A and B are shown apart, each in its own frame.
Chain A
């Protein structure tokens, strides 16, 4: 069932100036309930522009954005409903922390939703827990935290609104491998425990392979590929032609196949690659 969908979205930046640029050229996508979708594409491919349409931050020049089957621009109420249900976390969200304590910062969204004080408190506590920080962080100033901690607080601020669709624009950018893995786990946990949809942008194909159910590849303002991780990643050469880095293991496979070893379709994980190689060796004789 689709929870959020866009139909024939067209959007251009700097209209009427010499810098006019078509950012989205007729994009249609259905986001289904409960799936983790990764949106990838090189810089300028339109992926951030697409995300900003999903909760009405940008209004399309033409085309529709539907939340729960209804156009979000139908009335003030539908737009408001969309804003509360589609939580958007920008790139470097830690730059948007502004309150004096972590508690107040996380409570900002739920407070604006008009929830009761008790419910707000409950949500602040559960979301700080979600992002893997302890409750003694709540009284600290967000500005005393490390970069990785700040980012998690910022994400907690969005999760506290319990959005039906959580959108994260490059959530792992600038994090070290450990911080990155923690954040990917958070995405997976939020999805599994709430059954809500998560959409995230990433440049890292290995990260995408770890958590995503579905991958959408954007190129030049259009959807170039859309499918499961397997379906998309097995097209290693096409990905490379779209200016994307294929996962390291995929390039190993492309090179092995080019060198005349027939190992079948491209693998993208160490585990999968190991099995494929063992398989081919055992067919060819004893290892």
Chain B
């Protein structure tokens, strides 16, 4: 897989603070991958997300996004044409009074011809399953719907990568599912690279790769199954573990040897069947 973003020995400190939020971080992101970044509040994960698309520039080291160095101001526009960003609060990122106008805002700023904008907006709204709401007023939508409109706004700019900073934190379970489904579809159907910063383990379980940050550094990096096996470490840094896995681990302690790394209820049932079968 091609490397799209590269963080090399990156440190970052906010100007009014003494401590470094990011400490000598080395991390790469790859094309077409769905990466989840986990970490508790203050672990540096949101700062990392903002470093990727040049909203922040490192105090030390360098970030290269799509071949462009983020510290060079002349690169900003080029980087943002490749990396779109969606934030936590749906109410803070909607600018227009009609859904389709909001989605058109990005491509309009790119100077794209009218007919093509029309086409891109319709496609984007269909992808996130919001096409039938195209004439609605955004403020009457639910949180999950608003976030999908925000995501459509990024898709309409045809960026290769979308970075989302806790996009589901303010949503209810239904809204969270809608957003996750939309993201998985973008990755699977269009090959868009997704970098999702989140607190929710059930979202991380669906990713190709999970990066756990703690105290400005990467402390775990691998597939969900690899990462979540480190239950004690995760708990010690204030994160939780998917409950089916926790149950399997607890059962193993009592001599019930359920195999694998069951991250979901389905996985667990599969492993449990296997276990009872072997037991005869």
Q: Using a CB–CB distance below 8 Å, which chain A residues touch chain B?
A: 42-44, 146-148, 173-179, 203, 206, 243-245, 247-249, 251-252, 254-256, 259, 261, 270-271, 273-274, 277-278, 281, 285, 287
User: Would you call A177 and B199 a contact (CB within 8 A)?
Assistant: yes
Top 8 A-B pairs, shortest CB-CB distance:
A178-B238, A248-B243, A245-B173, A251-B265, A176-B40, A252-B265, A174-B169, A43-B172
Q: Quick one: which of B41, B42, B169, B256 contacts A277, CB cutoff 8 A?
A: B256
In the bound complex, residues from chain B placing their C-beta under 8 Å from that of A278 are: 251, 254, 256
Count contacts between A and B, CB distance < 8 Å. Answer: 95
Q: Quick one: which of A175, A203, A206 contacts B243, CB cutoff 8 A?
A: A206
Assuming the contacts A175-B41, A248-B202, A259-B273, asked whether A43 and B268 have C-beta atoms less than 8 A apart, the reply is no
**26 A–B contacts, CB within 8 A, in A order:** A43-B142, A44-B142, A146-B41, A146-B42, A174-B169, A174-B170, A176-B40, A176-B199, A176-B239, A177-B240, A178-B238, A206-B243, A248-B202, A252-B244, A252-B265, A252-B268, A255-B265, A255-B266, A256-B268, A256-B269, A261-B272, A270-B246, A271-B250, A274-B250, A277-B251, A278-B254
Given contacts A43-B174, A274-B247, A277-B251, could you give 10 more A-B pairs where the C-beta distance is less than 8 Å? A43-B143, A43-B172, A43-B175, A146-B41, A148-B41, A174-B169, A179-B41, A243-B174, A248-B265, A255-B265
Q: Give CA–CA (A5, B174) in the complex, Å.
A: 30
Assuming the contacts A177-B199, A206-B243, A270-B247, asked whether A259 and B40 have C-beta atoms less than 8 A apart, the reply is no
User: Would you call A244 and B173 a contact (CB within 8 A)?
Assistant: yes
Return A276 CB to nearest CB of chain B, in Å: 10
> When each residue 37-65 of chain B gets 1 if its CB lies under 8 Å from chain A and 0 otherwise, what string results?
00111100000000000000000000000
Q: Give CA–CA (A240, B203) in the complex, Å.
A: 19
In the bound complex, residues from chain B placing their C-beta under 8 Å from that of A146 are: 41-42
Q: Give CA–CA (A85, B71) in the complex, Å.
A: 55
Q: Give CA–CA (A255, B271) in the complex, Å.
A: 12
> When each residue 257-280 of chain B gets 1 if its CB lies under 8 Å from chain A and 0 otherwise, what string results?
000000001101100110010010
Which residue of A has the minimal Cβ distance to B249?
A270
Listed residue (A176, A245, A274) with the most chain B CB atoms within 10 angstroms of its CB: A176
Which residue of B has the minimal Cβ distance to A285?
B279
Which residue of B has the minimal Cβ distance to A278?
B254
Q: Give CA–CA (A244, B243) in the complex, Å.
A: 18
User: Would you call A174 and B238 a contact (CB within 8 A)?
Assistant: no
Assuming the contacts A255-B265, A274-B251, A274-B254, asked whether A177 and B239 have C-beta atoms less than 8 A apart, the reply is yes
Assuming the contacts A176-B40, A177-B199, asked whether A256 and B272 have C-beta atoms less than 8 A apart, the reply is yes
A interface: dominant SS: helix
User: Would you call A178 and B40 a contact (CB within 8 A)?
Assistant: yes
Q: Give CA–CA (A146, B250) in the complex, Å.
A: 35
Listed residue (A42, A148, A248, A261) with the most chain B CB atoms within 10 angstroms of its CB: A248
Assuming the contacts A177-B239, A256-B272, A287-B256, asked whether A42 and B173 have C-beta atoms less than 8 A apart, the reply is yes
User: Would you call B143 and A252 a contact (CB within 8 A)?
Assistant: no
In the bound complex, residues from chain B placing their C-beta under 8 Å from that of A175 are: 41, 199
> When each residue 207-247 of chain B gets 1 if its CB lies under 8 Å from chain A and 0 otherwise, what string results?
00000000000000000000000000000001110111011
Return A266 CB to nearest CB of chain B, in Å: 12
Q: Give CA–CA (A78, B262) in the complex, Å.
A: 55
Q: Give CA–CA (A255, B41) in the complex, Å.
A: 34
Q: Give CA–CA (A178, B142) in the complex, Å.
A: 28
User: Would you call A273 and B247 a contact (CB within 8 A)?
Assistant: yes
* Cβ of B24 under 8 Å from chain A: no
Which residue of A has the minimal Cβ distance to B166?
A174
* Cβ of B88 under 8 Å from chain A: yes
Return B196 CB to nearest CB of chain A, in Å: 15
Which residue of B has the minimal Cβ distance to A251?
B265
In chain B between 161 and 200, which residues have their CB closer than 8 angstroms to a CB of chain A? Answer: 166, 169-170, 172-175, 199
Q: Give CA–CA (A43, B170) in the complex, Å.
A: 11
In the bound complex, residues from chain A placing their C-beta under 8 Å from that of B246 are: 270
Q: Give CA–CA (A245, B169) in the complex, Å.
A: 16
Q: Give CA–CA (A121, B237) in the complex, Å.
A: 36
Q: Give CA–CA (A94, B240) in the complex, Å.
A: 25
Return B244 CB to nearest CB of chain A, in Å: 5
Listed residue (B166, B169, B239, B269) with the most chain A CB atoms within 10 angstroms of its CB: B269
* Cβ of B113 under 8 Å from chain A: no
Listed residue (B39, B143, B173) with the most chain A CB atoms within 10 angstroms of its CB: B173
Q: Give CA–CA (A175, B266) in the complex, Å.
A: 28
Q: Give CA–CA (A256, B247) in the complex, Å.
A: 13
Q: Give CA–CA (A43, B268) in the complex, Å.
A: 30
In the bound complex, residues from chain A placing their C-beta under 8 Å from that of B238 are: 176-178
Listed residue (A44, A146, A281) with the most chain B CB atoms within 10 angstroms of its CB: A281
In the bound complex, residues from chain A placing their C-beta under 8 Å from that of B142 are: 43-44
* Cβ of B255 under 8 Å from chain A: yes
In the bound complex, residues from chain B placing their C-beta under 8 Å from that of A256 are: 268-269, 272
Listed residue (B240, B246, B265, B273) with the most chain A CB atoms within 10 angstroms of its CB: B265
Q: Give CA–CA (A277, B272) in the complex, Å.
A: 10
User: Would you call A270 and B170 a contact (CB within 8 A)?
Assistant: no
Q: Give CA–CA (A287, B251) in the complex, Å.
A: 11
User: Would you call A174 and B243 a contact (CB within 8 A)?
Assistant: no
Q: Give CA–CA (A249, B202) in the complex, Å.
A: 13
